[in-house]
Chain A
């Protein structure tokens, strides 16, 4: 582990005193020409430089966005600087940098908006804190708009519903268009188009991986559970984050989905071309990228002739799927209208549990005491079920249906007040490791306290980014990487498939006689 200054955790949350400039050095790698080209974005000759005529372009793009996004236009005007958001961002709590307070982050763009688009800022800039658009201002935006995970916790507490994520997205998109795209995201998105997923895992490799999983389950429980790929005529298309194909604990979740489908007796398939639920178009604030990524799913649903679409465990993917799939890739009139379009895997599993068609042995998870991390995009930007708030209850009901030992973390850190894992919103990259560790502080603090007070041993999550981020940062806070688990991993542990019992009995007998 590299050497970082790890924030302290406390028994009760402490709001830090501000430390100006403490994260001014944090900035992700800028996308070079090759990656900007792949995205169709312009680039300067030197990576990290601005394109010619950048200033006019910036203002032109800002004006365009103000005319296209009501959120941006309204949010630029309505902030009264009341301060309610100032202590709500996990990056502020973890870094104490005042520019990580949501209002200050918004102000990086707002002060330019005021200077060029408002009466007060044009004629009395000093009075209202308006500034000229300079290269330094742009560089500062690049730094701090990449210290926001677009988690929307600030928006929960804002009296006017101002959502910093909307401002961050707008700013990132503008920055990308003047040569300051983010390498991490701009490297990943083209892979989705060319190959089908963020990892760049081609069809043969994917098929091979899935075959391996089938063998693993068969070795483990003696039942052949299929992982169909590109099977035309299947009822269900499963779209899941590609991390589910290889990363721990994600892959255990994928095995859980497969076992649930197997037990429910439904026909399903993965698609090699839509082998990715993630949609980084959201992170970079680019409507067109987000739409193109979404349309892959439409194309594949048509090609394979499925009736339903189900999404695997992934936070921002579910935000895009739940809120935007219909907008961007709809209308979905060719799918079965009796099911939600799209449906979350937890909605499917919960329904199976409610109908009693799954054979569950909760004691299989007795060696763990669980808590649940509400992923920001699911908590504050979606539903998993029919009622408002079902995004909180459904995962907990599923966990408690397959586990005996469960406790919530502190109430001010869960549900819609949940803290981001620290790696969301396109920040899950090694060049932002310091930020990721510091931003995880509030969640780590709540987890540590639940370990101390309730004897919690593991934290379950339903987001690929959360799982990857926690795997990486848990050790920095004195915990172990395997303390993060997938919700469907718990289901997988507890579910007993037909034919599984016989095999298990046989081996039990064998042990006894031995």
Chain B
């Protein structure tokens, strides 16, 4: 289930997304590609993520995108479907995936903005289709949050958050 309420990503969804990212990585000659949701949660990545902290990256990229959406509305646009940040050695292109996720492509002088844009345009409908299927599917039954899990989590909270 997506949008409001709890949502879940299944192993087969992730495998499909990983395969799409892997192909994008080589076709666009990227350093790495990351996928995150619109609330700033990291989903998956491909390529040389190296020292990059995906959790922090996801929270900042989602905020960047959310702020740009609001700027677009101030200008009378529905949204900005992609954002480009140019660096000296590396650059980044971020794009909306069906209003549900954000795809980030990070590239260096092995690629060009034109190539990345072109490949991204081809990829986005395929990634959006996976998210749409996830959204249509009923939540997986028998999740981990049974009473025994909740009791174990409460114990862990008491242990960790003891200040």
A and B form one complex: no
Binding site for A on B (CB under 8 A): none
